[in-house]
Amino acid sequence: MTTAIEPTPADDEFTGTPAESPADPARGASRERPALRADDPCECIAAVPALLGFVPRRSLVVYLLRRPPGGAGSAALSAVARHDLEPPGRGGWARLATQLTALCVRENTLAVLALIVDDRAGAPHSGKPGVRSGRHRYLVRALERALAAERIALDEVWAVRELAAGQPWWAVADPEVGGVQSDPAASPIALAEAVDGYRIKASREDLESLVAVDAQLCAEVRPEVDRAGILAGQRFRTAIFRDELDRYRRSLLNRVLDRVAALASDGTVDARALAETAVALRDPTVRDAAFALAGGLRAEAAARLWAQLCRVLTGSDRAEAATLFGYSAYTRGDGVLAGIALRAALESDPDHTVARLLDTALGTGMPPHEVRKLAYSGRAKAAELGVEFDLRADWLQP
């Protein structure tokens, strides 16, 4: 069976990604990906790091095969999702299986393939037979029962100690069935991403570091943010007095666009520019307009700007930047990075309305082309201020 690649974000609990695009803040517009052969274990296993955007460890990775429209033709790979392999006790396995099944139902899943990545496992003929194999078989039984209740097949379950060329893989149901892994870096999907300059992260922690607060940078930027906030307050009061609020907001938005242009050209933005951008995003109209950048020709530069802001800000300012960064990742079909960024936003400001809405949309499986509509709303906000945005022609295409 040859799977078609199409984007659908995975459940929040199952940190997932569509097979369409990996996790990177500089990721460009999505394009057609190489087809993945679901009947070839070596190819499926090798593709995992490119599909997730990082190399998973101690994880359950699942491939969701969607029912084709009309019920005819080959199944399509709708999503690849991942869960930590450390649920508490047997009840944890059951909850994990229930969450996966709920995701499968939302995705109209026909069948599931699974991969267990566990460095503590003893590979067949390795001298450590049976190490953790009992736990893995219990997990498989829990998955089979939960999926069968919804008439979803668990086709294959493979296991590896690590994802690396030359390392063994084997079938959990019959460890005598197995082979040697091919090089993940040489998988067709990974090679397609390499053409775009994309590099797979070594771990999920590497992805989280993209939005992690840098205490030293925060200390450098904080005084600039305070100064920029005072100046902005003065200009806002003057604009209100002169009935020039739109003009004031247009100047703020243009400053944000200038920072994006600077990143696009030479890749640098200093502490003062970052602070002025953070203060500009405090204005709801400017922030809403900034969502349109995710669909523009400088989407990559905008994503880098939001990522930089995430690292140097705290509180509600950080929440605004993380929400924009999460939205940018979501619209590219990057569920893993979107989930990380949106959680960072909600940790900084639990009441952030847009972050909560996007997080809910991601968790319920809303496809990227649906949330891309927010960029059109942003473009309309910018137009009201006299600023024109050009969105890519394919922006709303599924």
pLDDT in the model for residue 35:
58
- Strand partners of residue 61: 82, 115
Considering the domain boundaries, does residue 398 fall inside one? Answer: no
Which residue, among 342, 273, 261, 258, has the nearest Cα to 301 in the 3D structure? 261
Between 87-101, 166-180, 297-311, the lowest mean confidence (pLDDT) is in 87-101
Considering the domain boundaries, does residue 391 fall inside one? Answer: no
- Strand partners of residue 113: 63, 156
Q: Is the pLDDT of residue 188 over 80?
A: no
Instruction: Examine the domain organization and report whether 320 and 352 are in the same domain.
Output: yes
Q: How far apart are the first and last CA of the chain?
A: 23
Backbone angles phi, psi at 13, to 5 degrees: -70, -40
Most trustworthy range by pLDDT among 40-54, 104-118, 278-292 = 278-292
Find the mean pLDDT for residues 217-229: 95
Identity of the residue numbered 12: D
Instruction: Examine the domain organization and report whether 19 and 87 are in the same domain.
Output: yes
pLDDT in the model for residue 185:
75
Q: Give the pLDDT band (50/70/90) at residue 137.
A: confident
Q: What is the largest CA-CA distance in the chain?
A: 81
pLDDT in the model for residue 195:
40
Q: Is the pLDDT of residue 27 over 50?
A: no
What total of structural domains would you count in the chain? 2
The CATH number covering residue 254 comes to 1.25.40
Instruction: Examine the domain organization and report whether 80 and 13 are in the same domain.
Output: yes
Instruction: Examine the domain organization and report whether 170 and 85 are in the same domain.
Output: yes
Spatial distance between the Cα atoms of 198 and 194, rounded to a whole number of angstroms: 5
Considering the domain boundaries, does residue 325 fall inside one? Answer: yes
Instruction: Examine the domain organization and report whether 177 and 275 are in the same domain.
Output: no
Considering the domain boundaries, does residue 396 fall inside one? Answer: no
Which residue, among 328, 329, 306, has the nearest Cα to 16 in the 3D structure? 329
Handedness of CA 216, 221, 226, 229 (dihedral sign): negative
CB atoms within 10 A of CB 127: 7
Instruction: Examine the domain organization and report whether 186 and 309 are in the same domain.
Output: no
Considering the domain boundaries, does residue 58 fall inside one? Answer: yes
Instruction: Examine the domain organization and report whether 123 and 238 are in the same domain.
Output: no
At 267 the three-state DSSP class reads coil
Instruction: Examine the domain organization and report whether 110 and 174 are in the same domain.
Output: yes
Look at residues 180, 203, 226 and tell me which one is the last residue of a structural domain. 203
pLDDT in the model for residue 292:
95
Spatial distance between the Cα atoms of 30 and 332, rounded to a whole number of angstroms: 6
334 in Cβ contact with 27 (< 8 Å): yes
At 101 the three-state DSSP class reads helix
* Structure-token pair, residue 194: 């390499």
pLDDT in the model for residue 94:
82
R_g over Cα of the chain: 23
Handedness of CA 190, 53, 335, 138 (dihedral sign): positive
Pairing state between β 76-84 and 109-117: unpaired
Instruction: Examine the domain organization and report whether 268 and 310 are in the same domain.
Output: yes
Q: Is the pLDDT of residue 66 over 90?
A: no
The CATH number covering residue 60 comes to 3.40.140.10
pLDDT in the model for residue 79:
78
Q: Give the pLDDT band (50/70/90) at residue 131.
A: low
Instruction: Tell me what the pLDDT averaged over the chain comes to.
Output: 81
Spatial distance between the Cα atoms of 203 and 23, rounded to a whole number of angstroms: 11
Q: Give the pLDDT band (50/70/90) at residue 333.
A: confident
Which residue, among 51, 176, 68, has the nearest Cα to 115 in the 3D structure? 51
- Segment (H or E) for 264: helix 245-266
Considering the domain boundaries, does residue 379 fall inside one? Answer: yes
How is the beta sheet containing 109-117 ordered, strand by strand?
Answer: 15-17, 76-84, 59-66, 109-117, 153-160, 168-171, 178-180
* Structure-token pair, residue 211: 């939005």
Look at residues 203, 224, 250 and tell me which one is the last residue of a structural domain. 203
Q: What is the pLDDT of residues 149-173, one digit of tens each?
A: 999 999 999 999 999 988 999 998 8
Considering the domain boundaries, does residue 392 fall inside one? Answer: no
Look at residues 176, 203, 230 and tell me which one is the last residue of a structural domain. 203
At 196 the three-state DSSP class reads coil
Instruction: Examine the domain organization and report whether 288 and 188 are in the same domain.
Output: no
Considering the domain boundaries, does residue 235 fall inside one? Answer: yes
Tell whether pTM > 0.75: no
Find the mean pLDDT for residues 238-255: 95
Under DSSP, the state recorded for 54 is B
Instruction: Examine the domain organization and report whether 183 and 243 are in the same domain.
Output: no
pLDDT in the model for residue 135:
84
Instruction: Examine the domain organization and report whether 219 and 198 are in the same domain.
Output: no
Backbone angles phi, psi at 105, to 5 degrees: -65, -45
Handedness of CA 216, 218, 221, 226 (dihedral sign): negative
Spatial distance between the Cα atoms of 168 and 365, rounded to a whole number of angstroms: 34
Handedness of CA 45, 30, 1, 188 (dihedral sign): negative
Domain range holding 300? Answer: 215-384
Q: Give the pLDDT band (50/70/90) at residue 126.
A: low
Q: Is the pLDDT of residue 38 over 60?
A: yes
Q: What is the pLDDT of residues 299-328, one digit of tens each?
A: 999 999 999 999 999 999 999 999 999 999
